[in-house]
Structure 1
């Protein structure tokens, strides 16, 4: 992992805590949550206040959620909104916490100016006994206060003020007035400087969870589905189509029926040919390193020379992707590629909509040789696979990501996946173009197979 850290591809954009004041505030908050303090005088924190250095010191990377309990966070500054989240067990946690900071920024800025803010993220589910309990997670509620309880104290003063305004006899209530004065000394002027956190509840219709071997839950689609990374964990859940990542034909058909994915080659705003060329590069590099072939500087010319020596070991994805690249650059006949082709999931991307990022994460798990998309959309899986790669592949991937992603993250994401999506649900009825008659198509195994964006796969049985 040292290569990734050195290139800023792991633990990047963390907030540095190196002042005695911040360390003291963090320790005060940490003691309140865990009953422990750090002896470190300098460390880094993510958006939720988690520090990899403190995790290493404690020997517990989940120290902010003791004994697998509720998710807790520490805010020292609103600038944490730009930091990543290092250990999310739900894919939506970083986005929800970022929105919480942004939508309450003025109040949180005021609070963190004098104290650390500690909080918890509640999913409303007391116990996840099995995958069937996951649909109970539909919204996240955030509760936060400073270690000095400034929000609670402000709420007490606000309640007194409200009582004073409503009660016509309050002007003569010396006890109430004295209590208000004393409370104001603790909380300040809550009328001019309110500290109420108003935006604390966030709906989460779609998410990935690391629980139960990894599960995708997509509720915003017209046909809700749960897709399991571990086939042994697959459970029938009422109201959901349940699949595993091995069910490639049914997943492709489901994506088509619900207009959740589209071919890169005709996606709006996508420059398909360069994207396809890069995907071919990633696949060839993986194959060449696995076969022990010389890849030189890892450039395109060296990879093409290595491909010429692969013979029958040439990856099966190459033929389909090369055909698509030729079509994008030269035109001609539309390539016939369906979900039985190894190139299929490399050649599509999620459509705009609330589930876009989650669908792209699923596609990266179905086509993990595209290491750039895997890194961008599914870091937990990327880091796990990275540890098992040969050293030559680790070097190639680290250098490639530093060169082609890290220098312009947002630009790369936009080029690959399109602009940030709106929240409108895609309408399958309006997307009858290249997908064909997906619902009716069947493979020779009896599993659903979409007619596909490339040719007449359903009719000719290919």
Structure 2
């Protein structure tokens, strides 16, 4: 399966747009540590001597070797992880089943980096993102995913041994006859051989818990669950009937555009691109128009031009092919740059969700992910915000659209990812109010 997938996505892989930024595991020592951790977690081992891993330690090559792409994520829940190095924190999470998983792993590594750096210098750290759900047999299980706890230790049990040693040191110091207990002293010496001097170099990973109120999951066709907003709702890309018994008043599928628009508006989750602070709204909308144009041209076997000028010429020549999304966004750009009548674009219009972005709130990434699915012709937002959907749709695109997408993302996005994200999604903090001098009856008050 991995080889077949790699062949289909070859252009993306060669351009660094897929399986990019993974951590290379090639030294015999690291491979041996990985195998110890893999055996500890799954009872299996790899015969590979060279492979790449993501932030969780998952390797697509090992998944292919074992015939199990979920070998660290059984049933798509309670993801296990293997850390060989804190450098994994910048790697992506491949085939994520929950939108929160990567951010949880990144936070775990960031918050415990000194301890993890010391632990991974000698051994692999193996662990699990634990919740009370062990399978996704029914949609009702989604509503039990409220809290994620991280459990981790080295494969040699360094943290467990350190806790035991700390307990025995406490016993030794509290007893008057501690110096005469040869068995206790021998046990302490044995444990210290495993852990080192924990009085000078403490080894500990605090218990970490993460609330999971609003999230996306790949289960049941792709599902967005908003539980902690003022007006909760579930939005599914799959079969809405699966959620007839959901403990929520509102369940929508992606075809219910008016209802989704109202949900987003009621909860103040989105804002119009036009008028958003700190961005070049007209440039963003003009680029969206280009993506929509390319989609229309490629659908009619017309090869898109190599640059924006060539695309404009093609748009004029094939104006009859331009869809309503293109015309609606063009009217917005015209209004922004030249004024005139405000173009009203209702929520049932196919261009509506192209005109929005997430507002400034903690779930902005999740909302931008939903908007990417509702406006999938915007290939840049789709790639940035919803990679799994981008890869799935890419596989069915005409060759000309694949070529355009790879060329654009490589030249526009890959060169400066952070700047692109800032230009599209950043929220500018309003400037503080001007401080005016306090004025008394005879002029400004001196402090």
Structure 1 runs (4+) greater than 6 angstroms displaced? none
Give the 3-state SS of the residue equivalent to 1:227 in structure 2: strand
Classify 1:68/1:218 alpha carbon distance in 2 versus 1 (closer, same or farther; 3 Å).
closer
Conservation of the 8 A alpha-carbon contact between 1:77 and 1:112? yes
User: Partner residue of 1:110?
Assistant: 118
Give the 3-state SS of the residue equivalent to 1:162 in structure 2: helix
Q: Deviations over 1:120-169 (max 9, x none)?
A: 11122234332222121112111111111111111111122233344555
User: Partner residue of 1:316?
Assistant: 324
User: Partner residue of 2:20?
Assistant: 12
Conservation of the 8 A alpha-carbon contact between 1:280 and 1:318? yes
The question of 1:84 aligning with 2:92 is answered yes
Alignment length (residue pairs): 420
Give the 3-state SS of the residue equivalent to 1:226 in structure 2: strand
User: Partner residue of 1:256?
Assistant: 265
In the alignment, the residues of structure 2 paired with residue 183 and residue 164 of structure 1 have an alpha-carbon distance, to the nearest angstrom, of 14
User: Partner residue of 1:138?
Assistant: 146
User: Partner residue of 2:305?
Assistant: 296
Q: Deviations over 1:357-397 (max 9, x none)?
A: 01100001111000110111111111111111111111110
Which runs of 5 or more structure 1 residues have no equivalent in the other structure? 422-462
Classify 1:237/1:58 alpha carbon distance in 2 versus 1 (closer, same or farther; 3 Å).
same
Conservation of the 8 A alpha-carbon contact between 1:119 and 1:145? yes
Which runs of 5 or more structure 2 residues have no equivalent in the other structure? 1-8, 430-447
Q: Deviations over 1:378-437 (max 9, x none)?
A: 11111111111111111110111111111111111111111599xxxxxxxxxxxxxxxx
In the alignment, the residues of structure 1 paired with residue 270 and residue 167 of structure 2 have an alpha-carbon distance, to the nearest angstrom, of 51
More relative contact order, 1 or 2 (CA 8 Å, 6+ apart): 1
Conservation of the 8 A alpha-carbon contact between 1:23 and 1:41? yes
Identify the match of residue 41 of structure 2 among 33, 57, 61. Answer: 33
Classify 1:258/1:70 alpha carbon distance in 2 versus 1 (closer, same or farther; 3 Å).
closer
In the alignment, the residues of structure 2 paired with residue 304 and residue 143 of structure 1 have an alpha-carbon distance, to the nearest angstrom, of 55
Conservation of the 8 A alpha-carbon contact between 2:78 and 2:134? no
In the alignment, the residues of structure 1 paired with residue 77 and residue 138 of structure 2 have an alpha-carbon distance, to the nearest angstrom, of 17
Report the TM-score when normalising by structure 1.
0.87
The question of 1:186 aligning with 2:201 is answered no
In the alignment, the residues of structure 1 paired with residue 301 and residue 364 of structure 2 have an alpha-carbon distance, to the nearest angstrom, of 37
Give the 3-state SS of the residue equivalent to 1:265 in structure 2: coil
When the two chains are superposed, the root-mean-square deviation of aligned CA atoms in Å is 1.9
User: Partner residue of 1:45?
Assistant: 53
In the alignment, the residues of structure 2 paired with residue 307 and residue 142 of structure 1 have an alpha-carbon distance, to the nearest angstrom, of 53
User: Partner residue of 1:195?
Assistant: 203
Report the TM-score when normalising by structure 2.
0.90
Identify the match of residue 329 of structure 1 among 329, 334, 337. Answer: 337
